Amino acid sequence: MLKVRKKVIVVALGGNALIQEGEKGTIQEQFANIQKSIGGIVHCIKKGFEVVITHGNGPQVGNMLLMAELSRGKVPELPLGICVADTEGAIGYMIQQTLVNSLQKECIKKCVVTILTQVIVDKNDPAFKNPTKPIGPFFTEEETKKIINEKGWKMVEDSHRGYRRVVASPKPLKIVEDESVKRLLESGEIVIAAGGGGIPVILSEDGALEGVDVVIDKDLASSVLALNIKANYLMMLTGVDRVYLNYSEPNERPLDTITIEEAERYMAEGHFPPGSMGPKIQAATNFLKGGGEYAFITAIDKVPEPIAGETGTRIIP
């Protein structure tokens, strides 16, 4: 008997799904925020979608790097890739437990699985020669000079609050564990993967995987994952209900449905900055050009509405 494939949706949780502005980022706060974010995902599951969840990890990795700095000389230093793996597992656990509890209340019997996900980048990506992504704690000018001397890190002044390390953010090319994700979906499981953009790896000359100290944009990695597993939809959840032109200006204008061509034109006009909406729009267009049906951008508490076409921004081929 031919098995009918269910619609697959990749849901990318933004940073405010875990730590909201003004919070300290305690584990209790993170669990509470995840609980608020889970309702839309449960809605998708009840509607019959096969669901893959991705998420950010910026504040958590920053905290790990700060802990490493405070314990310098007392414990071995952790590479950035290990910090990403640690936070991917920890955040995956929090989402996994919260979602399992929510499904039990709805009498839905499904397993939720977190996969530590490696993401291949090109070792010749130009981003390696131009690190731009700030990570970790702030340092004084004196501390910065010493760190550059000892470690050779690239450091930049950030928002007049001090100096921070910047690392490369190369483009994600392929999800190493994509076949495992597909098999789990076919078995009816819910999968959490590519957390924080995934663990960055390159291919060595003999084809072996090798970790690198860079970070990968979560939305771009979500787009690659969605294409690798042939998902139908990509939904990116953030702090605003939809995408706007001239955001926060007197003449701001919400966008309901836009095409790839319109999205790219608006991006070229500078409406979507690299540090905020830009990667989401790029992820959406990449996904659609690769064969995806729709991409959605909306607020974390608005998931049922965009599926029904009532709110959010829909990007179409």
Q: What does the pLDDT look like over 50-97, one tens digit per residue?
A: 999 999 988 888 888 878 878 888 988 888 999 999 999 999 999 999
Looking at residue 232, the DSSP 8-state letter turns out to be S
115: left (phi over 0), alpha (psi -120 to 50) or beta: beta
* pLDDT of 306: 75
Measure CA of the first residue to CA of the last residue in the chain; give whole Å: 33
Ranges of H-type helices in the chain: 27-46, 58-70, 80-105, 141-151, 178-186, 218-228, 260-268, 278-289, 304-307
Active site residue 47: no
Measured from the Cβ of residue 247, the count of other Cβ atoms closer than 10 Å reads 15
What does R_g of the chain's alpha carbons equal in angstroms?
20
pTM confidence score: 0.90
* pLDDT of 246: 87
Judged by DSSP in three states, 8 sits in strand
Considering 40, 62, 218, 286, which one is annotated as catalytic? 218
User: Do 9 and 51 meet the contact criterion of CB atoms below 8 Å apart?
Assistant: yes
pLDDT < 70 regions, the chain: 1-5, 16, 159
Considering 14, 195, 196, 280, which one is annotated as catalytic? 280
* pLDDT of 162: 86
Of all helices (H) and strands (E), which one includes residue 299?
Answer: strand 294-299
Active site residue 16: yes
* pLDDT of 133: 83
Q: How far is 201 from 224, CA to CA, in rounded Å?
A: 15
Determine the residue type at 282.
Q
- Which residues make beta-bridge pairs with 12? 54, 236
Find all residues with CB under 8 Å of 46, minimum gap 6, and list them: 106, 108
* pLDDT of 1: 41
Judged by DSSP in three states, 243 sits in strand
Sheet of strand 133-139, all strands in order from the earlier edge strand to the far edge: 133-139, 163-167, 154-157
Looking at residue 296, the DSSP 8-state letter turns out to be E
Q: How far is 116 from 83, CA to CA, in rounded Å?
A: 12
Q: How far is 256 from 314, CA to CA, in rounded Å?
A: 6
* pLDDT of 308: 74
User: Do 46 and 9 meet the contact criterion of CB atoms below 8 Å apart?
Assistant: no
* pLDDT of 198: 96
Considering 16, 57, 228, 286, which one is annotated as catalytic? 16
* pLDDT of 2: 42
Q: Closest Cα to residue 183, out of 234, 114, 229?
A: 229
Burial class (CB in 10 A: 0-12, 13-18, 19+), 292: buried
Domains observed in the chain: 8-122+177-316 (3.40.1160.10)
Burial class (CB in 10 A: 0-12, 13-18, 19+), 22: exposed
